[in-house]
Amino acid sequence: MTTGASDPERVDLEVDYLVIGGGTAGGVVAARLTEDPGVSVGVLEWGPDDRGEDRARYLRRWAEMVESEYDLDYRSVPQTRGNSGIRQTRARLLGGCSTTNTMISWRPLRADLDEWAELGAAGWDADTFQPYFDRLAIPIHPVATADRNPVLADIVQAASTALGLPVQERWNDGRTDVDAHGTGFFELGYDPATNVRGSTSIWYLHPILDARENLTLVTGARVTRLLLEGGRAIGAEYRDAEGVVHVARARREIVVAAGAIDTPRLLLLSGIGPRAVLEAAGVPVAVELPGVGENLQDHAEGLVVWETVEDPPDISASGWDAGAMLQVDAGRPERPDVMMHFPVEAWVEHPKNHGIVFPEHIVAIAPNVAKPSSRGRVWIASPIRMPPPHRLPLFHRPGGPRRADAARRRARRAGDRRGRAVPQPHRARGVPRRRRAVR
């Protein structure tokens, strides 16, 4: 059952479970809860329904979703050591960022999950959590042979030789529990026969939206605050496309699944969070909760570029189909700290916006720090419920560049090896230093 929130009269929704956000996580939660016909579930989604939007349906069209009408396009605040204005693509659409990203799919590393449990996250150890990955409804497959770009295949072989990495044909079969080093084509959430992406909206929500009477989806509903009674969330206030305020209530529980940025923002706007942040923003403190918005982790990605005679052939599943995992700091082989992407078409919009000029034809390797030690945060600066999307929220990423520099050096070794090993027209030469950019 689907309801548009643009109706001129107020809509009061009362359900057992209220899910805020119909994105990657919210779609799974709603589908799972409504398996019980004895409970009612409501989903409040800021964006529109994704059914009928082919850009969100086909994996190969992911780049058309970035900076589209669905992209909130958040930016990082100015910082003294760089990383200013970094784009944070956030999808305002049913399915959330699973309608926008490249669907590289990893079985969570055993070492990471067990580390979480050791730090106090009970129930997140590998033995408990990994079986849930195996139950995912979305199709996850190695990149199909027909989708394997020959230039990326060359870079995979070059990375294997230059960095001493095994070539992996599979990643999610348990091998990373013992040794997570390797290079190769990834496993992606997609249907190789049709290129339909593995978004949670397509594989979890579309089959049930018109079939389960205990599910109510309200699209175009931007939640502006949670409603509290005695320190407990009992509902949410939201605005429709016309700005009309509506109220939804939950008899049992509220699940906030608005993403890594908008979830803490909503909590802060509702008066839930660190006292200092709330008071500075002029928001009355309802529940003092120091951790809200803190400890943001992001895999900051660099960019190493080589000029080529012509572009790689237009063959891919998503365009970001291959890469590598490795360890900069010697230690446990099951705990890599660097990942690399080998894109068919380099994504260089951020450095271009900072004035970097690139040659007409390029290839790139994008290394990132997959296990960062630096931490950022999300915060609000005012109690305004409907700020321009580029203003709030923002984040800051402190920390040293040691791992990023080491990752970039290894990416250069792999790319330089590939440039020497393959014939024209795809032989690469390094872009002059003044043209090299790190985002």
pLDDT value of residue 419? 55
CATH class of the domain defined by 1-103+197-257: alpha beta
Q: What is the pLDDT of residue 81?
A: 67
Distance of CA 385 to the CA centre of its chain: 24
* Per-residue pLDDT tens over the stretch 109-146: 999 999 999 999 999 999 999 999 999 999 999 999 99
Hey, what are 44's tokens?
Answer: 């409040």
pLDDT score, position 149: 97
CATH match of 143-196+298-376+391-439 with 3.20.20.70: no
Q: Residues 68-87: pLDDT tens digits?
A: 999 998 888 777 766 677 77
Please tell me the predicted confidence (pLDDT) of residue 399: 42
The Cα–Cα gap between 346 and 365 comes to 8
**What does the DSSP assignment read for 379-396?**
E-SS--SS--TTTS-EE-
Predicted confidence at residue 351, as pLDDT, reads 83
Tens-digit pLDDT profile for residues 353-398: 778 899 999 999 999 888 887 788 888 888 865 543 333 333 444 4
Q: Which residues of the chain have pLDDT under 50?
A: 2-9, 11, 387-399, 421-439
Dihedral of CA atoms 174, 177, 180, 183 in degrees, nearest 10, equals 0
User: Taking the model in full, what pTM does it have?
Assistant: 0.89
Q: Sketch the domain layout of the chain as residue ranges.
A: 1-103+197-257, 143-196+298-376+391-439
pLDDT at 193: 98
